[in-house]
Amino acid sequence: MSFCHSNMFNSNFAMVRPSETAMFLLLVAFVAPSLASNILYPVETESRELRTLHGLWNFKISPLSNQLIGFDEKWYTVRFETLGDYWKMPVPSSYNDVSTNSTIRDYVGWSWYQYEFYVPKRWTDDQLNVFLRFGSVHFKSIVWLNGQLCVDHEGGHLPFVGDATRFLKYGEPNLIVVAVNNTLRPDTVPQGYTKFPNNTYKYPNGYRIYSHEFDYFDYSGINRAVHLYTTPKSYVCDITVLTSFENNYSEGVVDYKVDICGNNVSQCNITLLDTNRNIVVESNTCSGQLRIPNVIPWWPIMSGKQHIAYLYTFQVKTNNENSDYYRMRIGVRTLQWTTKELLINDEPLYLRGFGKHEDSIIRGRGYDDALSARDFYLIKWLGANSFRTSHYPYAEETLQQADSEGILVIVESAACNLRIFGPDVMKFHKGVMTEIVNRDKNHPSVIMWSLANEPYNNIEVSVPYFRELYQHVRTMDPSRPITFVNSQQIQNAKAIEYMDILTLNRYSSWYSDSGHLELIQHQTYNELEAFTKKYNKPILLTEYGAGAISGLHSLPETMWSEDYHVTLLQEHFKTFDSLILNKIPILGEMIWNFADFKTPQEYIRPGLCVKGLFTRERQPKMAAYVVKTRYDTFRNNSPWPNPSLNCV
């Protein structure tokens, strides 16, 4: 999405000056919008070619005292080798932890990437469209090809696409330049603040203090894949599927809509294939319904079914001279929610998992196939069935793997600790949610939308805000429950009554009543029961846990030791079992966090949040073995564990 903010530099930088550069930046959103409806994941087919622009890019940062120098000197038109003072930076990766330079690690402002590449001459001979797609750039980005403005986007963690066809030089060297600004503002999601303290005794004149509302390190740069891909002039640009069952779940129903962009083509051939590439059903319309006899439903892991995570292939072929082909894997499943339960394919779900972070050494938030594969192996080793994309949408590749592994996902927006509510934030937040739903709507693994994490919903203005945002998302997707994660006390929590499911973060005997493990069962049981009775909705505990420094032991247990971490979890397990036994509508238990992750520098943490079941290097702590024992006692995805469970 492209937003234009007239206060762009007032809120971020000390210097404000009317200039051609500033006017250029204000006009960018109008002349180079992202192709918001053209966001299908790039795939290679018989009609499409696909290549990545991964590797070591040239990288520069603008001095804080002259943030607009790159625009004034038109860095987007010259090779950085001629300018000097640049670094090599891998893409995809966050830039913060790659070098040994603390200025780059902590940099907030305009950074610049540049890369040279070739494309084949036949792409223009064949009269193909060529699109440039970024999986995620954090936070605001402006992209030039060969000195020409191609596309801009604001908002991290989500993809955007520009039409590169007319900007490329075919059979010749091409220069791509990306300007990236990771400065957050009060009107963005998430929110950030820039202040200039009026205290020259303590701070130098013009000193800038930048802060944000969340407690994870704000990794920045080109964090996900950069693709070039081709299509015919008429091409498939969006697909929407909605699945259901009939005839006692023996027949699958796929309602679908395919959007074709380009020339006036309105006819499609639709083919649904099974895992052996056999044709299941066909259609010759771009919008309609497919009926699947003897359907194999998509079931999550540990459902006890013969087929887990079964995926069909939805194949589209445009019906014209130069046909476009696109294939997408889909699962046939339904979701329902009541005042007591969350059900998949009419069977109750009990979520066992955690919040995660896209975080690793050196790469930061940069997507990495090896790390993602390791995480999924660990998820399955634990016996977990779910995770939340705390606190932002994760890479598309992660959701694709969740689809194929049968792992359930709550997709959360980047609205972490939202403090300021108003029309500007609402506009931005709606845009973010629109992009999230458009991107992730067809994933069977995605079972819930989370609008925000721990907002300041103790103030009255949050009520109309979340009510309106809920309706915005509900209009786009009628098939999934919607929530936001509450951390307010029951007497202060507002707006949660408009959500479908209650979600709660609580840290008994850690942030509150620190060290008092004996209070966990009493406090957690009473509070979860009170929420469900007051709002007549089921509740999911989305965060609970404790910090544990790997290798630190204490007998008897003390805070920060692995022993304390284990006991705290075991006390919660007892509470969950009591809630289940007494039929309190609890939907699951999600630990904070899957693995240790980097935080901003502060005296209360050693550079990391150490609440992970695994270290940042993905090795298990004591707690991981205890959680594995707990999760392995569940026979399936229902809330009923093995009766022999003993949580002592």
**Active site residue ranges:** 454
DSSP H helices in 486-519: none
- Paired tokens of 645: 């469970």
The rounded radius of gyration (Å) of the Cα atoms in the chain is 25
CB-CB contact of 413 with 392 (8 Å): yes
Determine how β-strand 160-163 pairs with β-strand 226-231.
Answer: unpaired
Q: Output the six-digit token pair for 437.
A: 């739903």
- Are the beta carbons of 258 and 287 closer than 8 angstroms? yes
Please name the helix (run of DSSP H) or strand (run of DSSP E) that holds residue 270, with its range, or none.
strand 268-273
Residue 353's φ and ψ, nearest 5 degrees, are -175, -135
How big is the chain, counted in residues? 648
Q: Which two tokens stand for residue 224?
A: 């996900």
**E strand segments, 506-581:** 539-543
Pair 314, 328: CB distance under 8 Å: yes
Q: Classify the phi-psi angles of 551: left when phi > 0, otherwise alpha if psi is within -120 to 50, otherwise beta.
A: left
* Token output for 398: 């992660």
Q: Which helix (H) or strand (E) holds 367?
A: none
Q: At what angle do helices 622-632 and 562-581 cross, to 10 degrees?
A: 20
Q: Quick check: 538 and 341 in contact, CB under 8 A?
A: yes
CA distances (Å), origin 118, targets 52, 138, 212: 11, 26, 40
DSSP state, 17? -
Task: Look at residue 353 and give its three-state secondary structure.
Answer: strand
Tokens of 272: 């649904």
Q: How far apart are the first and last CA of the chain?
A: 51
Question: 546 with 348: CB under 8 angstroms?
Answer: no
- Report the SS3 class of residue 619: coil
CA 429, CA 448: separation in Å to the nearest integer? 17
Q: 535 to each of 523, 585, 640, how far by Cα in Å?
A: 18, 11, 24
| H-helix segments, 486-561 | 520-535
